Amino acid sequence: MSFVRKESQSGDSSSDGEEDFVPYSERSEWSDIKPVPQIEAENAIVTIAYSSRFRDVFDYFRAILAKDERSDRAFDLTTDCIALNPSNFTVWYFRRILLQSLKKDLREELRFLENVILDNHKNYQVWQHRKALIQMLNEASDEKRFTEDILKIDSKNYHCWQHRQWFVQQFNLWDGELQFLEQLINDDIRNNSAWNHRFFVINNTCSLSDMQVVEQEVNFTISKIKLTPHNESAWNYLRGILRECGLNKLKQVMEMCNELYSEPNRVRSSHLVAFMIDCIEETLDKQCPRDNSLIEQAVSMANEMATIDTIRTNYWNHVARSVHHTYTCKQ
């Protein structure tokens, strides 16, 4: 950090506070720069109450940006700007220009950025800056460790998962991903981000037309669905894995569905019933003539869904009518 601190009368320097900050306007090494104030809208109904430090720092930032000054003091100024507003796109963009122009140590910048991200891990700009640094370095040897540290803080952090998907694919770092994801799913079976990343890994490293892969993933998913039948993430994953071969391809899938559907003393999962309706429709699409008992079963389940999924009652009533009309009239 490049904040300059004033010594207090006692001789001690405080770690924080406006009173310890020496404004750029009072620093002799910045006397050659004329600050550029922010243009405020005339007659604004609500104005932002910037602190005096914020105004001072960003007035000088606008000045050096306007003259495209590429110097160590400009770089230090961006550090002060980031401390005050780590979401400012322009500051990060100009800092990247300075990093390259001044030939700064990019690994040192990564260390600086790690601390910034730890305090601002839901900030898009800090993750974009990290991606740019990794691109400049053209290697991502520490990224798995770093993203795992962030995911321990926030296991569903969108920016972190997006970054991990990018560098894993960009640098072919697929090894160990499934084992990592299995642990995350075991820790939190409802972690939709982990399920999504698992599908990303499988989809990029395997073929979903390979039945050995499909069966492996189906068996894994079935074991999780049996633990938490109301977990939408696992049902969506199951649909994704079966999308090429068909929902009815593996007998263990329907065996699981029938087992869960027949369980006494348990509230039926809406995801289970909806999945079974789709399975029946998939079967009916291939039949000629069609099995009337299957049509009746699908209509009955759609009517059941209208009572389970009450927010979408009208939709499920429509599904019941549609199934009856589509498959009864076209024998």
Closest CA to 293 of 301, 316, 249, 253: 301
| Catalytically annotated residue among 6, 34, 67, 122 | 122
117 exposed, middle or buried (CB, 10 Å; 0-12, 13-18, 19+)? buried
Question: Which residues, listed in sequence order, are joined to residue 228 by a DSSP beta bridge?
Answer: none
3-state secondary structure of 247: coil
Active site residue 156: no
Contact 60, 30 (CB under 8 A): yes
Q: What is the dihedral of CA 68, 69, 72, 78, to 10 degrees?
A: -50
Angle between helices 124-137 and 89-101 (to 10 degrees): 20
Specify the residue for token string 């370095």: 137
Contact 156, 197 (CB under 8 A): no
Catalytic positions, written as ranges: 122
